[in-house]
Amino acid sequence: MKRLLFFVFILGVGVISCQTQKKESTSNMENPFFKEWNTPFGVPPFDEIKVEHYVPAVKEGIKQQEAEIEAIVNNSEAPTFENTILAFDKSGALLNKVNGVFGPLSSADTNDEMQAVARELSPLRTAHRNNIAMNAGLFERIKAVYDKRNELDFDQEQMRVVEKYYEDFVRGGANLSDEDQAKMKEINIELSDLYLQFGENLLAETNKNFKLVIDNEEDLAGLPEDVIARAATAAEKAGEAGKWVFTMAKPSWIPFLTFSEKRDLREEIYRAYFMRGDNNNENDNKEIIKKIVPLRDQKAKLLGYENFAAYKADVNMAKTPEAITDFLMELWEPALLMAKQDVKDMQKIIDQEGGDFKLQSWDWWYYSEKLRKAKFDLDEAEVKPYFSLENAKKGIFYVADQLYGLKFIERDDLPVYHEEAEAYEVQEADGSHLGVLYMDFHPRDGKRVGAWSTSFRPASYVDGERVSRIGSIVMNFTRPAGDSPALLSFDEVSTFFHEFGHALHGLFADGPYDRTAGSVPRDFVELPSQIMENWAAEPEVMKVYAKHYKTGETIPDELLAKLIKAGTFNQGFITGEYVAASLLDMDYHTTENPTIADVNAFEKESMDAIGLIPEFIPRYRSTYFSHIFSGDGYSAGYYVYIWAAVLDSDAFDAFKQTGDIFNPEYAAKFRTLLEKCGSDDGMTIYRNFRGQEPSKEPLLRKRGLL
């Protein structure tokens, strides 16, 4: 979603050559950012955009927005909504246009040149944001409108955007003294550089610095045929033909940990995964963390907050760090109990098999799979053939159609940024255009790990006309292997539905002002995505998309029943590792001593304090915790996924209670929530949909934690 340029931006971005200085003479006529895009629906002309186009376009965009802001400040007329708030809201069009391409590509299709230019642009863009955030003249005019807001005849949308802009400026340092503003600017610049460095180090540690090469076929024992085939393909691409290669991509290392009978190799690949950024090499992230944490603390204290977590929580639904920690501990305790019981059960299996060792973290996937078979007679290898990527896509489109009447038409005539990306026009039930959605499914060098939703252009209004969203969802799913298509785990299917939910939020978001359209608190933003995961697991929906890739047979009722019965299995681990990481995040940002001498010692002390058992680790250890250290977005806010899980479980329960998971009345109400969610506080918007306060019970019941 588009937010204020100077408050939120995508870090680690850049698609420009190291030779930028030589190429900045590129004429405006040659630079596609200086032209109107005559592509279908105005999508970026990816085939025309070159690496040397970004720097001059960013610099010109900064120059234009500076001029726009100067015109606002120097306006001789008294500040009004139109000449101050609206004028500022619509400023920076060129810069937003460039960043709309620059940001997404830096995560999905980066390289050494892009990273070099990201480093070049980072201080320029941070300085620009600082200059706006602390522009005394601009803030004075915004404050003048804010102070009179209750005397003016504002509608709800106008009132909201005035209040949010005022809040942004205050939180950005506009009320600070000149001396403190200078400190804040220095902190922001240093943090932006550190975030960039953290992300680059992690990308190298993930995609470049490790691969498990197997040249002995006996070391493939236990691995399914499709996993072996993909490893052989990966070996060929890596110049290791005739061998098998496993990497840090989740579709590679998770199946290896789940099925490999070679315990020593399981340990080797898992150690490589959880030691990323912690290898005392040129990509080590410990010193970066030691700089980030005190800088954030200084920033919060400059703004009058006790700590950085208090600063972040203040504008979220949770409001205080104490409320967040209390909430997390309510979930941690039952999850830990469940995990401890699973440890006992898995250790029994080890002992029965004659294993002379105690369960370790690299054993969890392997023995939990055995435990699942023992408890539920459910084998992932039996399930996976029913979850091909193409069929999962059909299931997603089916749900969107049933709920909202949407149609997704693949368009081969739209430019794509990579040959693997797919482009779809999204149409309403009546055939009218809603937006464009790109989908990019598989791991590759230059793509960061994980899954995310972003946009090349957010939905907005220009001269009263709605401009549709050009969105994108990016994943790292299992690739096709041999004669078989891309076969997904159910976890990957759920991830697909999740990111698609974010995409729907962006497509539907509607509001007259860029600052507030679709804008929600960070601990609300995962509701639109996570609620979609509920439909993925519904038998009615599975019957549509869970088809055997060879026979076309619908998933048998018996197998479906096993899947549903096993729905709460391993939730001690799944919930526990997540909550542990969330509590680690909170500890970093509430510590009374932010000068951290030893990152690993800090992490251990944090985890020991909650009684984390040695059989598993937090979902993200500090040195690869990109959610909180490669940008500001989820810092002191990783908890938001499970906070929103309360909302999504409660919201889906509303559908279930009607007896129709596609209930038209609730679908219409939920679409309204997605469209208008920026017009009021998060909880108010939710209550308007639900008609009551959210309940934790549906989440606890779903996870088996009651």
DSSP string covering 94-135: HHHHHHHHHHHHHHHS--HHHHHHHHHHHHHHHHHHHHHHT-
Give the pLDDT band (50/70/90) at residue 629.
Answer: very high
Beta bridge partners of 212: 246
Q: What does the pLDDT average to over 255-280?
A: 98
pLDDT digits (tens, 9 = 90+) for 53-78: 999 999 999 999 999 999 999 999 99
pLDDT digits (tens, 9 = 90+) for 406-420: 999 999 999 999 999
pLDDT tops 90 at residue 8: no
pLDDT tops 70 at residue 10: no
Residues identified as active-site? 499
Give the pLDDT band (50/70/90) at residue 379.
Answer: confident
Q: Comparing 20-133+135-175 with 387-555, is the CATH topology the same? A: yes
What is the model's pLDDT at position 455?
97
What is the model's pLDDT at position 380?
84
- Domain assignments of the chain as residue spans, ordered by start: 20-133+135-175, 210-274, 321-383+570-658+666-702, 387-555
CATH architecture of 387-555: Orthogonal Bundle (1.10)
pLDDT digits (tens, 9 = 90+) for 316-375: 999 999 999 999 999 999 999 999 999 999 999 999 999 999 999 999 999 999 999 999
pLDDT digits (tens, 9 = 90+) for 69-122: 999 999 999 999 999 999 999 999 999 999 999 999 999 999 999 898 899 999
Give the pLDDT band (50/70/90) at residue 1.
Answer: very low
pLDDT tops 80 at residue 252: yes
pLDDT tops 70 at residue 431: yes
Q: Residue-wise over 74-99: b if at least 16 C-beta within 10 A, else e? A: eeeeebbbebbbbbbbebbebbbbbb
Report d(CA 312, CA 628) in Å as an integer: 12
The structure tokens listed for 569 are 């299995």
Which is nearest to 83 in space by CA: 141, 156, 137, 2?
Answer: 141
SS3 at position 469: strand
Which is nearest to 598 in space by CA: 620, 617, 622?
Answer: 622
Which is nearest to 301 in space by CA: 135, 187, 198?
Answer: 187
Which residue has tokens 């200086």?
A: 34
List the Cα angle 265/270/273 in 5-degree steps.
135
SS3 at position 547: strand
Least confident of 12-16, 289-293, 453-457, 653-657: 12-16
What is the model's pLDDT at position 25?
42
pLDDT tops 70 at residue 491: yes
Give the pLDDT band (50/70/90) at residue 482.
Answer: confident
Give the pLDDT band (50/70/90) at residue 481.
Answer: confident
Q: What does the pLDDT average to over 208-229?
A: 96
What is the model's pLDDT at position 198?
98
**Class for domain 20-133+135-175, per CATH?**
mainly alpha
**Class for domain 321-383+570-658+666-702, per CATH?**
mainly alpha
Give the pLDDT band (50/70/90) at residue 621.
Answer: very high
Average pLDDT over the chain reads: 94
Beta strand 433-440 with 469-474: parallel, antiparallel or unpaired? parallel
Report d(CA 129, CA 120) in Å as an integer: 16
pLDDT tops 70 at residue 138: yes
